[in-house]
Amino acid sequence: MFVFACVAALLIAEAALRLSGKALPASFGMADPELGWSWRPGVEGWSLGEAPIYVRINSDGMRDREHAIAKPAGTRRIAILGDSYADALNVEIDQTFWAELQRQVARCRPLTRVEILNFGVSGYGTGQELLQLKHRAWKYDPDVVVLAFYPGNDVFNNHRELNPSLEPEQSPYFHLVDGKLVLDDSHRKLQRLQPNAIRSQGIRAALINHVRLLQLVYQVRNNLRMRAAQKTIPVASIEEKMLLPPSDSKVGEAWAVTEALIAEMHREVQAHSAEFWTVVVSMRPQVHPDLGVREALARRLGVSDLDYSERRIVALADRERFKVFPLSHPMAEYASRHKVYLNGGGAVALGDGHWNVAGHRLAGELIGARLCAESQKLGRP
């Protein structure tokens, strides 16, 4: 009788959740032997982070529309590599910076068909993005590869001991040995030792994506884990570290590996006769609409400006001879002139979180204008 009552209560609760129309989160990720994790092909459902967004992952595991593998004749393709700023689960797909980039290029190259392919995955570091380029992106034959580099956590993501991820052991890493990058793919061994756990993850994800009660439990668990992680390593403190020269040897190691990874990505792109760009994504303190707030932060940190990370990437681009476009200055100027926050809103405070709709639109416009003006691989109108 007790079991029957429990089952009946669960069924009633499930029905009530379905009738309420309440948005509950889907499970989008899965274990990946090459990348650590990736998006689960074909899954769709609600993402309830900074804003409730219904997300569809295409059949090849990309937050993007479907793309033919073979590049259509006369088409130029731009591949976007990045993390949560690129997969942009807090805005609708047609509001992302790469959707705006598509529109910008269509205007400046009206006689050239240009197709954007988004390979962004939340939590990825530069090492995972390099592996994704090697193992996933080249089959689409992109003409231009754009790395959306976010100094706010990408450098830390590239170091096992600094990685702020909830499960840092799931990531592949690279180390510098005698000046050369060496892959540490111990995550593969972990996955091989846990085949039952990997299978159970797939079963659990399928159940979560179909059972509302499990989605509710999943939401509560994720919220608790994120709050615990933010107390341990606050996002703001990581961003502030990236506004300064390395504070200790581990941060210095992370920077050295990161620079080597970007340089290797450039060589990889050159080997495929494509064009490489690094777009340096703005950090939140850099684009606060109040100039006084930015200047006060610089004084508190004891620096003359908030551009340390950008200067390092620009210097790397000069040495390695690839194209680079830092976004913080034009975005900060726009934010101050229009008195608008380019991050946050919804479930997070303005100025926190990722680019909002205004931030994505502006970033797409800026990147589009620069690519249109300088890219040699987009063809001529």
Please give the model's pTM, rounded to 2 decimal places: 0.87
Q: Which of 162, 154, 149, 102 is nearest to 282 (CA)?
A: 149
Chosen CATH of 75-197+233-374 out of 3.40.50.1100, 3.40.50.1110, 3.30.470.20, 3.40.710.10: 3.40.50.1110
**Which tokens belong to 256?**
């050295």
pLDDT average, residue stretch 230-239: 61
Q: Which of 374, 369, 376 is nearest to 108 (CA)?
A: 369
pLDDT at 59 over 80: yes
- First and final CA of the chain: distance in angstroms? 75
pLDDT average, residue stretch 183-208: 61
pLDDT tens digits along 109-152: 887 899 999 999 999 999 999 999 999 999 999 999 999 999 99
**Which tokens belong to 353?**
């979180």
| Structure confidence at residue 54 (pLDDT) | 92
The distance of Cα 73 from the centroid of its chain, to the nearest Å, equals 30
Express the helix, strand and coil content of the chain in percent, nearest 5 each: 50, 15, 35
- E strands along the chain, which residues? 29-32, 36-39, 44-48, 52-56, 75-81, 113-118, 144-149, 173-177, 180-184, 275-280, 323-326
Q: Which of 244, 249, 250, 364 is nearest to 307 (CA)?
A: 244
Domain ranges (residues) in the chain = 75-197+233-374
| Structure confidence at residue 349 (pLDDT) | 94
Instruction: Find all residues with CB under 8 Å of 21, minimum gap 6, and list them.
Output: none
| Structure confidence at residue 195 (pLDDT) | 53
| Structure confidence at residue 46 (pLDDT) | 85
**Which tokens belong to 170?**
């799931």
| Structure confidence at residue 190 (pLDDT) | 62
Instruction: Find all residues with CB under 8 Å of 70, minimum gap 6, and list them.
Output: 141
Q: Tell me 40's DSSP state.
A: P
pLDDT at 10 over 50: no
Give the Cβ contact number of residue 110 at 10 Å: 9
Cα distance between residue 340 and residue 334, in whole Å = 8
The whole-chain average pLDDT of the chain stands at 86
Task: Give the type of residue at 348.
Answer: V
In this predicted model, which residue has the larger pLDDT, 319 or 7? 319
| Structure confidence at residue 198 (pLDDT) | 44
| Structure confidence at residue 380 (pLDDT) | 55
pLDDT tens digits along 336-376: 999 999 999 988 999 999 999 999 999 999 999 999 999 98
pLDDT tens digits along 73-121: 999 999 999 999 999 999 999 999 999 999 999 999 887 899 999 999 9
**Which tokens belong to 290?**
């109040």
* Residues facing 147 on adjacent strands: 81, 278
| Structure confidence at residue 347 (pLDDT) | 87
Is 271 exposed, middle or buried, given 0-12, 13-18 or 19+ CB atoms closer than 10 A?
exposed
The phi, psi pair for 326, rounded to 5°, reads -75, 135
pLDDT at 38 over 60: yes
| Structure confidence at residue 228 (pLDDT) | 52
The three-state secondary structure class of 83 is coil
| Structure confidence at residue 49 (pLDDT) | 83
Cα distance between residue 356 and residue 344, in whole Å = 6
- Across 50-59, 162-171, 325-334, the highest mean pLDDT is recorded for 325-334
Region at 245 (left for phi over 0; alpha for psi -120 to 50; beta for the rest)? beta
